[in-house]
Chains A and B, each alone.
Chain A
């Protein structure tokens, strides 16, 4: 599914798109622990997280992850948006819990990495 379809399904807010909205997303990984994200060998995925700080963006940058979905209505700072723009990362945000988001996206066809 495309990032735009994810936004629509979750009634999410696009914080910065960086021209990624029409890109196809096949895989997802959910974590609040950035150490877990840094251990992944793959980059072709959307990161679902409730951890909203600069290191979330840095971790995605280092891991070549282009899309981040923040759950639980976490607030995204202007510094995070600035860094995401520099790193060409799309940020979207929704109000639902991580469990619910993962369930909805799994049903919609997103695949787990492992």
Chain B
């Protein structure tokens, strides 16, 4: 099964809409609730990152009987130093993002905590690709 969702950069009124759709699908498939929570929290953090930092993005969800693999690709400023961005507390978020309750430098570490495999590739002034994989067993 494969799904694709567009993510609009800067539009906080829609931030989380894609993650919400994925949650509905996982519930319909009777995936364990604690596993659903881990998966959608990671997706939501990544979706908010696109809204907060990029111009636009795409979420591609691949579901198999054994795992869910989500790839979020954005067009945006990119991440100059990924290991620095992975450090808790490091943030380049704008005041607007902080007003929405985010931007404390906890997003990427929380994504890592909530998925089984995380790959990040980024190019400055082009964009970032975040690939998250979680196994069902």
A interface, CB within 8 angstroms of B: 32-36, 38-39, 43, 51, 53-56, 58-59, 61-64, 79, 87
User: Among the listed B13, B45, B107, B113, which residue makes an inter-chain contact with A54, where contact means beta carbons less than 8 Å apart?
Assistant: B13
User: Among the listed B15, B33, B37, B103, which residue makes an inter-chain contact with A58, where contact means beta carbons less than 8 Å apart?
Assistant: B15
Query: Which candidate, B1-9, B16-24, B64-72, B118-126, is the interface stretch facing chain A?
Result: B16-24
- Contacts of B55 on A, CB cut-off 8 Å? none
Contact with A along B12-50 (1 / 0, CB 8 A): 110110011001000000000100010011001100100
User: In the complex the two chains form, is B16's CB within 8 Å of A62's CB?
Assistant: yes
> Can you list 22 A-B pairs with a CB-CB distance of less than 8 A?
A33-B101, A34-B101, A35-B102, A35-B103, A35-B104, A35-B107, A35-B110, A36-B104, A36-B106, A38-B44, A38-B45, A39-B113, A55-B12, A55-B16, A56-B101, A58-B15, A61-B20, A62-B20, A62-B23, A62-B40, A63-B37, A63-B41
- Contacts of A33 on B, CB cut-off 8 Å? 101-102, 104
Q: Is the interface of B mostly helix, strand, loop or mixed?
A: helix
User: In the complex the two chains form, is A53's CB within 8 Å of B100's CB?
Assistant: yes
A55 to B16 CA separation, bound complex (whole angstroms)? 8
A62 to B45 CA separation, bound complex (whole angstroms)? 10
The minimal Cβ–Cβ distance linking A72 to chain B, given in whole angstroms, is: 15
Which residue of chain A lies nearest to B113 when distances are taken between CB atoms in the complex?
A: A39
The verdict on A61 contacting B16 (CB below 8 Å), with A35-B102, A35-B104, A35-B107 known, is yes
Given A32-B101, A35-B103, 6 more pairs with CB closer than 8 A: A34-B100, A38-B106, A39-B106, A62-B40, A63-B37, A63-B41
